[in-house]
A and B are shown apart, each in its own frame.
Chain A
Amino acid sequence: MPLPHISVMLLLPFIILLLTTAACTALGFLVHRQAVTWTAMAGLIITAASLIPLWDRHLSSFGGALLGDPFGIALSLVILLGALLALLSSLDSAKRSSLSFPEYDLMLLLGVLGSVLLAMAGNLIVLLIGLEIMSLSAYVLATLQASRSSEEAGMKYFLLGAVGSAVLIYGIALVYGATGHFGLSGIAAALGHAAASNLPVLLLGTLMLLVGFGFKVALVPFHQWTPDVYSGSPTLVTLYMSVVIKTAAFAGLIRVFQMALSGVHGWVIPAEVIIALTLILGNFAALREENFKRMLAYSAVAHSGYLALALVAKSSLAEPALIYYLLTYTLMNAGAFAVVAVLQRDDSGVTISDLRGLYSRRPGLAVALAALLASLSGLPPFAGFFGKFVLFSAALQSGFVGLTVIAAVTSMAALFYYLRPAALMFFSEPAQTPQLPAAPRQYSAVAVWVAVGGTLLIGVLPNLVMQLLQRPLT
């Protein structure tokens, strides 16, 4: 029997990540944690470098189980960027959160490994493996801090995540049962001549896949873990979770539903309902939040709603929009959480009243946070505006008018809860002067400014990114 085609170039990123993890494990016994973090960051950069030559080659490996198409590569690069920003902020903020030990970096690296595997998966089982690696490391990361809220967050994430994974696996089983394939392209082909009797099983499996992924990306009503886990976990972990895991999960979601299951029509209407609920609930729940970190969690739910528009829209329009938006989302969220990590006294985050008059105390940070909030709310000239623009037009042009209207309206309501902290920073005087940590945080500052700069750059010159995406992506 001939050996399956194995493309070593495609395996290189994974090998590099594994080697980095091994190196960090060994180093962890020997040197200070900071050195481990630097090694990890170097490894991530080398991995990114190894991904770039794969760009237009459309390599695949293991009979289609690993797909090196531009979609997967682009999203893997976004994941690596998010992880880099997370590690960068942790260089000086981890000590305050008592996270300054090498296991943190190791878990993060393994999570990145799982995420990249998920983004480049071409087969349901490989996808599952990547998803599980990513999730398991995330459960550990959430619990890593020895505080009550961290424990609670980890427990909730684990239990609910296990339930979500179980549903997902059952869905995979059903989809396999209906089509006889695990490979995404195989499933798509099998849909053409599927027996009618298989259809209920297929649909049930599809809906369960929707549930499983819906949990991971926080779609309503599977989102309830997000506010608690995001606000209970240490802020640095939340930073990582909110960008890397969301990107990878969306990569998987879009791959499965656009590549494999686009021939099945039964899931579109439930998906529309779910998206609408997510948009409405995510935006409205954030309106009343006093805790800034928790508000960002609800905002993450709302953004999942916007991103999920790419689920139902036509793939040729949706995929570039999704990639662009995930890139900006990574930058915006990483920046915002990095600012919280700098400002917080403990990992319960900052309250919105703590932000009053921030401009008079820390002008640079206030301006950066205001820019990030403006981008999150979708104001030009920041990237958030263009991201929403392409996503909404993709949905509109695919015929989902009502959904787009809901998205636009809730997005306007969102302006309030994004801009209120921004205004408070500049136009109020602090009620009392809360003790802000005095140590300078250069690395976190670099992370924040990279985020702000990136948001401005690709917001003002979106063509830089969009040009790269005007090609067949999968």
Chain B
Amino acid sequence: MIPTSDYLLLSGLLFTLGIVGVLIRRTAVLVFLSVELMLNAANLAMVAFARAWGQLQAQSAVFIVMTLAAAEVAIGLAILIAIFRKRVSTEVDPLSEMKG
């Protein structure tokens, strides 16, 4: 039986990778991809804990989180399309007209 801590380690690793991705990536879609990575890292942690506590409740929570992530994707991509329809590149840096 793989100990929970291994799962947690993997989960933490994925989370950190997601964070790094958010910070490094310049394209909007890739930033969003990294956020999805973070969300799935959280899902992994939750599944691991569900198994550790022996409860099904957390596994249904995972489903809920996946649904929420899917909704977020839908809305996110819709926003992306609306914004980048008129622009050439999908980089986030040019979106910095408001500052100070």
Which single member of A125, A136, A169, A228 contacts B71 (CB below 8 Å)?
Answer: A136
| Pairwise interchain contact B15-A170, C-beta atoms closer than 8 A | yes
Least Cβ–Cβ distance between B72 and chain A, in angstroms: 6
Contacts of B22 in A (CB 8 A): 159, 163
Overall SS of chain B's interface: helix
From known contacts A128-B68, A169-B42, A170-B38, infer whether A180 and B79 are also in contact, taking CB-CB under 8 Å: no
Known pairs A170-B38, A176-B49; A165 contacts B72 (CB<8 A): yes
A443 shortest CB reach to chain B, Å: 29
Chain B residue contacts of A180, Cβ below 8 A: 53, 55
* Contact between A162 and B72, CB atoms less than 8 A apart: yes
Cβ of A238 within 8 Å of any chain B Cβ, yes or no, is no
Residues of A close to B1: CB separation below 8 A: none
Known A-B contacts A136-B71, A155-B92, A176-B58; the reply to A162 vs B76 at CB < 8 A is yes
Most chain B CB within 10 A, of A158, A174, A180, is at: A158
Q: Does B10 have its Cβ within 8 Å of any Cβ on chain A?
A: no
Contacts of B78 in A (CB 8 A): 140
Contact A174 B45 (CB under 8 A): yes
Contact of B38 with A163 in the complex, beta carbons under 8 Å = yes
**A272 interface residue, CB < 8 Å from B?**
no
Partner of B35, one of A152, A156, A162, A176: A162
Pairwise interchain contact B41-A155, C-beta atoms closer than 8 A: no
Assess whether A125 is in contact with B98, with CB atoms less than 8 Å apart: no
Q: Smallest Cβ distance from B76 to chain A, in angstroms?
A: 6
Contact of A159 among B32, B42, B75, B82 (CB under 8 A): B32
Instruction: Give the complex CA separation of A128 and B39 in angstroms.
Output: 13
How far apart are A237's CB and chain B's nearest CB, in angstroms? 14
Please determine whether B61 and A159 come into contact, CB atoms closer than 8 angstroms: no
Instruction: Determine if B57 and A182 form an interchain contact, defined as CB atoms under 8 angstroms apart.
Output: yes
A174 to B53, CA, bound (A): 12
B65 at the interface (CB under 8 A from A): yes
B52 within 8 A of A: yes
A90 sits at the interface (CB 8 A): no
Q: With A and B bound together, what is the CA distance between A125 and B45 in angstroms?
A: 15
**Separation in Å of the B68 CB from the closest CB of chain A?**
5
| List of A residues within 8 angstroms of B55 by Cβ | 180
Interchain CB contact (< 8 A) of A177 among B31, B38, B52, B97: B52
Q: Would you list which residues of chain A between 260 and 306 have a CB under 8 Å from chain B? A: none
Q: By the criterion CB–CB under 8 Å, are A136 and B75 in contact?
A: yes
Q: Cβ of A182 and Cβ of B42 under 8 Å apart?
A: no
Contact A143 B82 (CB under 8 A): yes
Report if B95 contacts A (CB, 8 A): yes
Q: Is the CB of B79 within 8 A of A143?
A: yes
Interface contact A156-B95, CB-CB below 8 Å: yes
B38-97 residues at the A interface, CB under 8 angstroms: 38-39, 41-43, 45-46, 48-49, 52-53, 55, 57-58, 61, 64-65, 68, 71-72, 75-76, 78-80, 82-83, 92, 95-97
The reply to whether the CB of A166 lies closer than 8 angstroms to some CB of chain B is yes
Q: Does B28 sit within 8 A of A, measured CB to CB?
A: yes
Contacts A128-B68, A162-B32, A180-B53 hold; do A152 and B61 have CB atoms under 8 A apart? no
How many residues of chain B get a CB closer than 8 Å to chain A's CBs? 42
Shortest beta-carbon distance from A140 to chain B in Å: 6
CB pair A170–B45 under 8 Å, yes or no, is yes
- Of all chain A residues, the one with the shortest Cβ separation from B75 is A136
Most chain A C-beta atoms within 10 Å of own C-beta, residue among B18, B22, B49: B49
Cβ of A361 under 8 Å from chain B = no
Flag whether A129 is at the interface (Cβ < 8 A).
yes
CB distance from A130 to the nearest CB of B (A): 11
Interface string of A224-255 (1 = CB under 8 A from B): 00011001100000000000000000000000
Q: Which residues of A contact B80 (CB under 8 A)?
A: 155
Q: How long is the Cα–Cα vector from A174 to B31 in the complex, in angstroms? A: 24
**In the complex, A408 has a CB within 8 A of chain B:** no
Q: Are A182 and B61 in contact (CB under 8 A)?
A: yes
State in angstroms the CA–CA spacing of A217 and B8 once bound together.
29
Instruction: Judge whether A371 is part of the interface by a CB distance below 8 angstroms.
Output: no
B43 cross-chain contacts in A, Cβ below 8 A: 173
User: Of A153, A156, A162, A201, which is in contact with the most chain B CB atoms at under 10 Å from its CB?
Assistant: A162
| Distance of A474 from chain B, by nearest CB (Å) | 23
Q: Is A148 an interface residue (CB 8 A)?
A: yes
Show 23 A/B contacts (Cβ-Cβ < 8 Å), sorted by A: A136-B75, A139-B75, A140-B78, A143-B79, A143-B82, A151-B95, A152-B95, A152-B98, A153-B98, A154-B83, A155-B28, A155-B80, A155-B83, A159-B22, A159-B32, A163-B22, A173-B49, A177-B45, A182-B57, A182-B61, A228-B98, A231-B98, A232-B98
| A139-B76, A152-B96 known, 10 other contacts, Cβ within 8 Å | A143-B82, A154-B79, A155-B28, A162-B35, A165-B39, A170-B41, A173-B46, A177-B4, A227-B98, A228-B98
